[in-house]
Structure 1
Amino acid sequence: MLYKILPNLSNIQFNHFNSLKIRLTFGIALLSALGLGSVALWMNWKMENLLMTTHKQTVNYVANRFPHDVEIYSEMVSLEMGIQKTINNLSDHKNIYWFQDNNKKIIAKSLIFSPQLTTINNINSIPKVINIDNQYWIICGMPLNINNKLLGHLYIAQNISNEKVLFAHLINSLTIANIMAITIMIIAIVLYISYSLKPLEKICTVAENISADKLKEVSINFHNTPNEVKKLAESLEKMLIRLGESWENQQQLLSNVSHELRTPLTIVSGYLQSTLRRGDNLTSIQKEALSVAVSEADRTVQLLEDLLDLARADNGNIQMKMEIIIVNDLIREIIAIAEQYSGRKINLTEENCDIKIKVDQNRFKQICLNLIDNAIKYSSKDTEIDIKLKRNKSAIIEIIDRGIGIPLALQNKIFERFYRVDEARNRQTGGTGLGLAIVKTLVSTMDGKITLISQPEKGSIFTLTFPSI
């Protein structure tokens, strides 16, 4: 059977990872998140790289201009004054310069200068970002050569605090935008996948609700659906038609065989009983053999009757003569019949009012006698059987025994056809394994319900519930 597809977004449970919807949603959402996250990281790296490239361009500009300007000024003033004038011309509120000779002594510097900049170690031509008093700087250094003579090192510090703040705001905005985009994308993906899987949900609904007698009537038609889903629906429809034909043939065979065997077996049973009654000259062994043959023949006839009832129910041909009855009176009649053939005491507890239901009287007798017979067979002779009648919103009939009981693990199977809790004991009691299956079928046909409460070695309670009138 197709796996049940979750019907809507609110029902998604991510611990059920075998769901196709969740797998598709999780996979596509993960790929989308990785894609958008990769783009965000790439943009972050690209913007930082752009910032560093811009500073490198500034450094290259200064590196090319600074020696030339120093040479010009040094023709008019001393070399130190020339360096200072050049630094003053290039400096502004964002760019700070200072020059150290080969002895690490500061010869010239910008008017606006932070001494903390000189405490930084390992400054070279590769720009690096540092934080000083919540101010971000890009710092690098380069050797200064005049007339092919190394005079010292020129250091450049560029304040990028504003750019850093702007960059941080941009990254935050980009992160929020990515989260929102991923969220919207996931919701859109879930809705789209839910819409795309609706044909599979429909197929699942059809498969869950179809009954055996309507297999051939199923029609699964889809419009504007993918070819794969159409092919699946067509294959399922053809399979159901084949199953329907097989089911009909099986039921017809069962009905025909049961009907054809019942009559000769009834005749055989009659002849055996007649021979047994008139067999004064039979030995004890012969009489025992005939008794066993009569018992088995009667048991086989009962089995065929049960099979015929189930076949009629499956084909929808079971005859029901629905009428309003007073349950109290009919139960007393049923108890009298059961006490007569079993010799067991059956107690009746009822409310002081008439309880009316609409059922087939003969079928209702069959149900109750079957359950009482079941209670008698599986409880010891020194125990009593209790029947309770109650009326709430419905009519409730409880049949209670104090017998061997049924284990909890087996209670959901006892209404299956041919199922026996104890195979050996069923053989001794003459059970066919169809009694409770017939009871459930008849109860359901009359709009009733049957439930069971049982404990091993403490007994069982079968409860019949019918709409009260």
Structure 2
Amino acid sequence: MKDRLSTHSLALKLTAVTIGVFAFMLLFSNYMLWKEQSRMAGKLASQLEHSFYGMEGGDDAEDTPLTLVVDEAQIRTLAEYRIYAAFIMGITMLGGALLFVLVIRRMLKPLRLLTEKVNEIDIDNVEYVKDEIRIEKGSYEIRALSEGFQAAINKIYENYEKQRQFSINAAHELRTPLAVLKTKIDVFRKKERSPSGELADFVDSMEKNITRLSGLVEGILFLTRDEKPERKEVFVRELAEEVILDLEEKASEKEISLHVTGDDAVFYTDDLLLERAIYNLVDNAIKYNTPGGSCELRVRRERGLEIDVTDSGIGMSDEEKSHAFDLFYRADISRSQRNSGYGIGLALVRDIVQKLGGGIRVLDNPSGGCIFRMSFPPQGSAAEITKSRQQRQKRR
């Protein structure tokens, strides 16, 4: 363990790099200054040969005082040396700092890579956090940090898998008795053709709650599916019009008008999943709309694909919008109790949109109500997609 630390420790590497850089700066500056001093010493020696005046020869030569004349050229040489020394020190410091930054950046590259991997994790989509974030290269501290992150992520994913498996098992266990209850109610209605009074209210209440529970079970099973979308060419506006037709009767009960506008868009996606997402949004718009209101479904195909479901309902606060797609979240309990559902429809929509590679958000409708906007990234045209798909099939 000690050998591993001494070989790969980030602290030891930083210490060694710091000492090495400063040693390099010191040696480089001293060498350059020594070289300049040697050049100046030779130059001064040649100048001094012509600067001594005295008596030559004779007995009194030793007692004759000598006069050293320093001219302006020698003074300039000394000034130039000082400037050169300052220049060398500045260049050395700048070069050393640059070298230090480059080395540190290289040493911290694994840490930047780890940061990018951690930032890519979407904790709201736990099924996608199983990707490896462990760093194999780098210092001991960074590798230990990545292993700690990996262990935490693995625990989150394991808990998610346990909850997912429990939801699947519970939903399957509930599916059969609910189907049996629904069948018995249907049989009872056929036997008692016109139940009246409290008995009729009881049967209606039972049937309504069984239908709600069946929808909840089906929604949970849908959320826990781990299947890849089956993509193909989809005429989005035609798909939207089919959804409107399916919900027209339900909307007419509250006198809500439904209409589709926008482009005749062709998109390469899973038609069943997209239809389910649109259906849930329009159904939600009908539930929480005001009587006599409206619901508009708008399709836009520019670079990508945008689908807006706009209602004229009661709207949502900022707090409610931030939790709108949480599983089992209901903004207003009193109004939720007046509508069938358990707060799973919008969670299903978010799950579908993310599986299809898009995103969804809630906006305020300027005239009142909400706008649920599904956005999907750009892709090739339908002709290009068909051509590329045919080429792939030929290669197979």
Q: TM-score, normalised by structure 1?
A: 0.57
Separation in 2 of the partners of 1:360 and 1:403? 30
Partner amino acid, structure 2, of 1:348:
V
Consecutive unaligned residues of structure 1, counting only runs of 5 or more, are 1-19, 41-88, 95-158
Give 1:307's aligned residue: 220
Give 2:159's aligned residue: 246
Of the three residues 123, 130, 136, the one matched with 1:222 is: 136
Separation in 2 of the partners of 1:364 and 1:214? 21
Separation in 2 of the partners of 1:461 and 1:214? 28
Map 1:25-424 onto structure 2 (within 5 A).
Answer: 170-209=81-120, 212-213=126-127, 218=132, 220-223=134-137, 225-272=138-185, 278=192, 283-284=197-198, 287-312=200-225, 316-317=226-227, 320-343=229-252, 344-351=256-263, 354-408=264-318, 411-424=321-334
Separation in 2 of the partners of 1:389 and 1:217? 34
SS of the residue aligned with 1:256? helix
Separation in 1 of the partners of 2:363 and 2:131? 37
Consecutive unaligned residues of structure 2, counting only runs of 5 or more, are 1-9, 31-63, 383-396
Partner amino acid, structure 2, of 1:325:
V
Shift in alpha-carbon separation, 1:289–1:407, aligned structure 2, 3 A:
same
SS of the residue aligned with 2:243? helix
Describe the superposition over 1:171-195 as per-residue Cα deviations: whole angstroms up to 9, x where unpaired: 5444433333222222222221211
Give 1:444's aligned residue: 354
Describe the superposition over 1:368-412 as per-residue Cα deviations: whole angstroms up to 9, x where unpaired: 211111212222122221223343344443322122233456545
Separation in 2 of the partners of 1:389 and 1:428? 31
Separation in 1 of the partners of 2:218 and 2:335? 22
Q: Does 1:459 align with 2:369?
A: yes
Q: How many residues align?
A: 321
What is the CA-CA distance between 1:309 and the residue it aligns to? 0.9
Give 1:146's aligned residue: none
Shift in alpha-carbon separation, 1:418–1:191, aligned structure 2, 3 A:
farther
Separation in 1 of the partners of 2:306 and 2:143? 48
Partner amino acid, structure 1, of 2:373:
T
What is the CA-CA distance between 1:255 and the residue it aligns to? 1.0
Contact 1:379 1:402 in 2 (8 A): yes
Separation in 2 of the partners of 1:188 and 1:421? 58
Separation in 1 of the partners of 2:152 and 2:173? 31
Greater helix fraction, Structure 1 or Structure 2: 2
Separation in 2 of the partners of 1:203 and 1:243? 18
Separation in 2 of the partners of 1:217 and 1:444? 17
Identical amino acids, percent of aligned pairs: 24
SS of the residue aligned with 1:433? coil
Contact 1:276 1:287 in 2 (8 A): no
SS of the residue aligned with 1:373? helix
Contact 1:453 1:461 in 2 (8 A): yes
Q: TM-score, normalised by structure 2?
A: 0.66
Separation in 2 of the partners of 1:281 and 1:373? 30
What is the CA-CA distance between 1:160 and the residue it aligns to? 12
Separation in 2 of the partners of 1:163 and 1:427? 100
Shift in alpha-carbon separation, 1:282–1:174, aligned structure 2, 3 A:
farther
Describe the superposition over 1:74-131 as per-residue Cα deviations: whole angstroms up to 9, x where unpaired: xxxxxxxxxxxxxxx879578xxxxxxxxxxxxxxxxxxxxxxxxxxxxxxxxxxxxx
Structure number with greater Rg is: 1
Describe the superposition over 1:317-358 as per-residue Cα deviations: whole angstroms up to 9, x where unpaired: 36x44443333333222212211122021123245xx43233
SS of the residue aligned with 1:461? strand
